[in-house]
Structure 1
Amino acid sequence: MAVPDATIQLQNLKGIWRPIYAHRTALHSTADAIVLAAWRRDVRGLDLTPAVVLAGEGADPAWQHRRRAAAAAVVGVLTAWSWRRTRAAIALAAKRAHRAGWAAGYALLSQDHDDDTPYSGEPDSPYTIGSPDMDDHRADSTATAVLTAALTATADRAGRAIADTTDDDPTGDGEHIVDDGLDLVLLTDAAVSAAYGAGMLAAYLGAGTRSVIWLTAGDGRVCPRCSDAEAGSPYSLLAAPTLPQHPHCRCCLAPA
């Protein structure tokens, strides 16, 4: 059955949703800033000259083959580089997101929904299951997945820039793309949303909640996929759609 009036109405937040979305907005902003800062520290000293040399050796003159060769060469350089700070920052962001999601879920379970006062982001868990904390292995796996995807996407963009440039020194265009970290930020945002949703579900699991509803942001930017997810509510905890449904998804899961 569909849940009537489930939409959050993000442009006119009331009650408990005010502090929840204030926490969530701050969470994403902080994660993006911390991870991007770590990436830019890690990228210092990176030289794409070897990639340019490898991409140019025996490259097919067709532009699509030049792009593929350049992207593959950049991937080789990037994956050989140390991303210690970036990996640690992603893992930390995922852990913080999981706990923030748990805190939001706990607030929805324990606080009057008309109460718009801030809630604690570090509550003591009364549960033996549904931990508020993401374990180290899962956080490290999340960091590895995000970093791997970011390096591949960045290498593809940098490789295109190197292959298409008419400058005498093509490394500059590629290195500028690597430095901007746009792919990393996009993928980190998605990972933070996923960890946040997992944290919410952990809180619901610990409280014995049996079903949840999918809530959209209630404006013209809501996509058909998220509208369908809302219309299909409620869901059992194990069958609920996974956050996020797409990059920059603003939806939320609430106990039914």
Structure 2
Amino acid sequence: MSNEILSQCWKLRIPQTAKFVLISLADQADNDGICWPSVAFICERTSLCDRAVQKSLKWLREHSAIRIEANAAAKGKNLYTVTPDNFTPEPVSPPHKVHPEPDSPSPERGSPPPPNVVREPPNDVRTNHKKPSTNHQGPKGNSARAKVELDVADLVAEGVDEQVSIDWLVVRKKKKLPLTKTAWLDVKAEAVKAGITAGEAVRIATKKGWAGFEATWNWKGANTPPGRITTQAAHTGFDQIDYQKDADEWNATN
């Protein structure tokens, strides 16, 4: 390592990444500034990636801070010569002059400079912010009703056949009877009383065109409408009475 070359490299005003690479080369160079480290070794010493090291070596060579002889060292390595005395910094750009327009009038002698006018934004700027809603009652209309009504998927989950579920809901819709949870619980309870499953109860109700099911209905026999129970008349046997005989006996005694 040449302390003189290393000291000269420290004084150069160059980009930080390029300076890391240059200091690493100077630290390994002999008194003539010659060294031959691999790019991988420079990456390890400087904690830079391969691309950053390659870019820095190119920049240093273009500015004459180093010379590179490709494959000139042992095992085909590049031979580097650190030359801080030959470093050529980038030219400094001259400051840009501001020229007034050709037709602009010249300011009068002794006139003050123009004031810095700062325009403040107007106070009546309209914003697009909306006040948060205070309605915490939840959805209205059909969306609220949909949460309490049962659909085909709910019936299938209860063991009812899918097509039977569709047909039964059509029957209830025609009668304007939405299937609520309460109505469904009543059907299940009546099915238990009848000794059948809820799926069988729905199948029977669909076949008979019923919107519901009750164990007391004539669900085993004829298609009797719900609410109409066929019973025998309280006054029976009138067709078996001999009204003529009673009339003759009444005339004989009067």
Task: Give the shorter-chain TM-score range.
Answer: under 0.3
What is the TM-score when the length of structure 1 is the normalising length? 0.16
The structure that has the greater radius of gyration is 2
Structure with greater helix share of residues:
1
**Higher RCO structure, 1 or 2 (CA under 8 Å, sep 6+):** 1
TM-score computed with the length of structure 2 as normaliser: 0.17
